[in-house]
């Protein structure tokens, strides 16, 4: 039965684990299968065509496992591939951009929303486009923060140096009158406490991970795909294109669960079959 | 084009206007058509079969207008009719129960959630069922608060007497260790400031109206039904089975907009055609 199948999650690396962490918390009965393309991370600075190619390699790989829904847990990949994936796949597909935009439109009181993300995400204009599609009144401030992903990848979630770098990155956007700030990159939630401290209480921080997990729940329910039965313990299976041990360490740390399986894939099986 | 059609909203009376208010705020380009069965309100204490009959009368009435989505903005009607409406209608149908449950599962830190609602909603066990379907760990405290809807209908949103009545109603559930409280009735958001004051800062109040508007946005997006074009001013059309002037006054007050049209319907055209 499709309802028993796992939710498939793809990301350029480990950032999507912030989405997985919320999925496990908000949907504790669901099983998850994840691919992180750690070896080719980050996608942010890559040309659009490369992001498209890599993302489809992950999607094709996951489709070989039966999944009931696909979550593109990477903002850069969502901006490039979401629409075509929604069109081509027969299962529901969710990206991380729309959930953040509707959360922002819900919380903003002054219709002035900020977005930070990688160069790729910000240059794509996807957040601006989604926000203004829904509301003609909303004003949007966008800022690329290329220094933030490296901080997360080095495990520097707090401390004086992290704070200094984040403060310098955010300065331009904090001089605008925004009252809400979308973390438009799935790496950023790990830095959320420091970002909140720097931004101050007047700005509500919106994590695309939390919001995406909620949208997954809403859509599974709407499509009658929620697993509501009983099973011993749900399985969590992770693939990485990079070294297993690094990925495993980060996954255990971030997800606070021990029972995960991490395997390596080079995605080559897919590439070969497609004659690429 | 379906995408240009209004969102249909039904409620037993004026309570669903709290959902409309959020829809207008979160989806300012969308048009809305609403029926409030004010004449037969409240549905809460009525037998299930009566709630079913009345709710279908409203749905059939709205389907004569072309709508692109149906929102059942009444918890009692959602508990009785949502599943069959999802099955029978070709457009997406959303109730007010699921959005509140996923919001609660998102915010709760101690997996202990409270729900207040009418007798009908609480006795249906719908919130308990939805919450435990998604999470086996969650503990749920449910409490019927029949004194609260009359307060709202009398316009007593604050003041000493309102506070005394709300305090007495909530006392049993506030003695439990819940950290989140779902307002499981669309009338209650009008009392939210007082409820929050009584519940204290340790309990997060979840308004089903806000959360439903968000789910409407997510599903319109998923189904490619969001209106993203331009139009002068969206139309808001309201039907009531009761007196027009009372309904109009409340609608203008709650929605803070002047440009609304209120018409009376006895739903009889539908009843006649169906030979009921």
Q: Is A103 on the interface with B (CB under 8 A)?
A: yes
pLDDT at B272 > cutoff 60: no
Please write the tens of the pLDDT for every residue from A41-55. Answer: 888 889 999 999 999
Q: Is A205 helix (H, G, I), strand (E, B) or coil?
A: strand
Q: Do A134 and B92 touch (CB under 8 A)?
A: no
> How much is the pLDDT for A273?
45
Q: Which string of DSSP letters, residue by residue, matches B202-235?
A: TSEEEEHHHHHHHHHHHHHHHTT----S--SS--
Smallest Cβ distance to B28: which of A98, A135, A218? A135
Would you call A74 a catalytic residue per the annotation? yes
Q: Is A133 helix (H, G, I), strand (E, B) or coil?
A: helix
Least CA distance to A227: which residue of chain B?
Answer: B134
> How much is the pLDDT for A275?
45
Mean pLDDT of chain B: 91
> How much is the pLDDT for A192?
94
Residues of A in contact with B84 (CB under 8 A): none
Q: Which of B195, B84, B98, B87 is nearest to B147 (CA)?
A: B195
More confident residue, A109 or A42: A109
> How much is the pLDDT for B275?
45
Per-position b or e across B211-239, b if 16+ CB within 10 A of its CB: bbbbbbbbbbbbeebbbeeeeeeeebebb
Query: Which of B85, B106, B137 is the mutation pick for testing A, counting most A CBs within 10 A?
Result: B106
Point out the catalytic residue in the list B96, B185, B192, B213: B185
- Average the pLDDT over B91-106 and give the result: 94
What is the location of CATH 3.40.50.1860 in chain A? 2-95+211-273, 97-208
ω before B42 within 30° of 0 (cis)?
yes
- Average the pLDDT over A144-150 and give the result: 92
Chain A (177-206) residues lying within 8 Å, Cβ to Cβ, of chain B: none
Q: Is A47 exposed, middle or buried (0-12, 13-18, 19+ CB in 10 A)?
A: exposed
Smallest Cβ distance to B215: which of A133, A135, A218? A218
Residues of B in contact with A128 (CB under 8 A): none
Please write the tens of the pLDDT for every residue from A124-143. Answer: 999 999 999 999 889 999 99
Residues of B in contact with A221 (CB under 8 A): 98, 102
> How much is the pLDDT for A231?
84
Smallest Cβ distance to A222: which of B25, B26, B219? B219
> Within 10 Å of residue A171's Cβ, how many Cβ atoms?
11
- A96 touches A215 (CB < 8 A): no
pLDDT at A114 > cutoff 90: yes
> How much is the pLDDT for B209?
81
Would you call B41 a catalytic residue per the annotation? no
Q: Is A217 on the interface with B (CB under 8 A)?
A: yes
Smallest Cβ distance to A136: which of B26, B28, B222? B28
Q: Nearest 10 degrees: CA dihedral of B54, B56, B58, B62?
A: -170
Containing B245, the helix (H) or strand (E) segment is helix B244-255
- Average the pLDDT over B104-121 and give the result: 94
- B236 touches B260 (CB < 8 A): yes
Strands (E), B135-216: 139-144, 180-183, 204-207
CATH topology assigned to domain B2-95+211-273: Rossmann fold (3.40.50)
pLDDT at B122 > cutoff 70: yes
Please write the tens of the pLDDT for every residue from B173-217. Answer: 999 999 999 999 988 998 999 999 999 999 999 998 888 998 999
Q: Do B214 and A102 touch (CB under 8 A)?
A: yes
> How much is the pLDDT for A276?
43
- Average the pLDDT over B50-65 and give the result: 95
Banded model confidence at residue B270, pLDDT cuts 50, 70, 90: low
> How much is the pLDDT for A155?
83
- B81 touches B54 (CB < 8 A): no
Q: Nearest 10 degrees: CA dihedral of B240, B210, B48, B67?
A: 50
Query: Which of B83, B104, B217 is the mutation pick for testing A, counting most A CBs within 10 A?
Result: B217
Q: Is A44 annotated as a binding residue?
A: yes
> How much is the pLDDT for B155?
83
Mean pLDDT of chain A: 91
Banded model confidence at residue B250, pLDDT cuts 50, 70, 90: confident
Query: d(Cα A234, Cα A28) in Å, to the nearest integer?
Result: 8
Point out the catalytic residue in the list A185, A190, A192, A225: A185
> How much is the pLDDT for B225?
95
Query: d(Cα B195, Cα B189) in Å, to the nearest integer?
Result: 9
pLDDT at B273 > cutoff 50: no
Please write the tens of the pLDDT for every residue from A177-219. Answer: 999 999 999 889 989 999 999 999 999 999 988 889 989 999 9
CA angle B149, B151, B152 (to 5 degrees): 65
Banded model confidence at residue B269, pLDDT cuts 50, 70, 90: low
CA angle B118, B122, B126 (to 5 degrees): 125
The HSE-up count of residue A159 (CA atoms within 13 Å, CB side) is 8
Q: Do A133 and B102 touch (CB under 8 A)?
A: no
Point out the catalytic residue in the list A17, A33, A74, A122: A74
Binding residues of B for substrate: 11-12, 43-44, 75-76, 186-187
> How much is the pLDDT for B258?
78
Strands (E), A52-203: 69-72, 93-95, 112-117, 139-144, 180-183
> How much is the pLDDT for A209?
80
pLDDT at A259 > cutoff 90: no
- Average the pLDDT over A164-179 and give the result: 97
Q: Do B102 and A221 touch (CB under 8 A)?
A: yes
Question: Looking at domain B97-208, does it have CATH number 3.30.9.10?
Answer: no
Banded model confidence at residue B224, pLDDT cuts 50, 70, 90: very high
Smallest Cβ distance to A92: which of B27, B92, B222? B222
Q: Which of A208, A253, A256, A260 is nearest to A239 (CA)?
A: A260
CA angle A49, A55, A60 (to 5 degrees): 125
């Amino acid at each position: 039965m499709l309802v028993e199948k796992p939710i498939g999650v793809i990301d350029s690396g480990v950032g999507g684990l912030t989405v997985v962490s919320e999925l496990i918390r908000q949907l504790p009965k669901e099983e998850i299968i994840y691919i992180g393309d750690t070896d080719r991370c980050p996608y942010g600075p890559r040309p659009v065509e490369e992001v498209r190619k890599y993302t489809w390699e992950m999607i094709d790989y996951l489709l070989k496992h039966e999944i009931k829904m696909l979550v593109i847990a990477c903002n850069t990949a969502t901006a490039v591939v979401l629409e075509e994936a929604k069109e081509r796949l027969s299962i529901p597909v969710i990206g991380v951009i729309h959930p953040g935009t509707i959360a922002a439109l819900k919380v903003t009181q002054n219709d002035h929303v900020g977005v930070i993300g990688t160069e790729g995400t910000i240059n794509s204009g996807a957040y601006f486009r989604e926000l203004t599609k829904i509301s003609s009144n909303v004003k949007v401030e966008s800022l690329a923060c290329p220094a933030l992903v490296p901080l997360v990848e080095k495990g520097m979630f707090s401390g004086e140096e992290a704070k200094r770098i984040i403060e310098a990155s955010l300065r331009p956007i904090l001089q605008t009158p925004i009252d809400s700030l979308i973390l438009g990159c799935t790496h950023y939630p790990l830095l959320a406490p420091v970002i909140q401290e720097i931004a101050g209480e007047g700005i509500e921080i919106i994590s695309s991970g939390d919001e995406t997990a909620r949208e997954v729940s809403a859509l599974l329910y709407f499509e009658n795909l929620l697993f509501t039965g009983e099973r011993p313990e749900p399985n969590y299976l992770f693939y990485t294109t990079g070294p297993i041990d690094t990925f495993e360490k980060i996954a255990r740390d971030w997800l606070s669960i021990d029972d995960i399986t991490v395997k390596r894939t080079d995605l080559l099986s897919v590439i070969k079959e497609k004659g690429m």
